[in-house]
Amino acid sequence: MPGGDLERLRERVEVRIRDAAPSARIERLGTSEPLLTGEHAPIHRILCDLVGQRGSRGAPFATDGGPLGAFDLDSVVWGPGSIEVAHRANEWLPKSDLERCADLLPKLVDELCR
């Protein structure tokens, strides 16, 4: 979770793994920092207005948004399609979702570049 102690969480998970499987090999491959963009951030407000969403929603997966926070960049997770079918075999998205995204993306860029 944003604001949490990632290293402490890793240590706790590793202890549990070693307790359950002492001979297990644990290898850290990378980090994906949590993402927390404030509801006051322009990208959040504008995008919520464009898609008709009220407030923030969490997502139980990693994105590049968290690491971008290290550069003081506000990020949101948004795009066409459904996460239920994304990033897996037979991934698909309805043409109407892609068309809606193609319509909204220029509007978002226009609003943010004023």
Task: List, for residues 52-78, the tens digit of each pLDDT value.
Answer: 988 787 777 778 888 887 788 888 888
- Which pair of structure tokens corresponds to residue 13? 């998970």
Instruction: Quote the pTM value.
Output: 0.69
**Domain boundaries in the chain?**
33-112
45 pLDDT exceeds 90?
yes
Instruction: Provide the b/e sequence for 6-22 (b: ≥16 CB within 10 Å).
Output: eeeeeeeeeeeeeeeee
Question: Would you identify the CATH topology of the domain 33-112?
Answer: DNA polymerase; domain 1 (1.10.150)
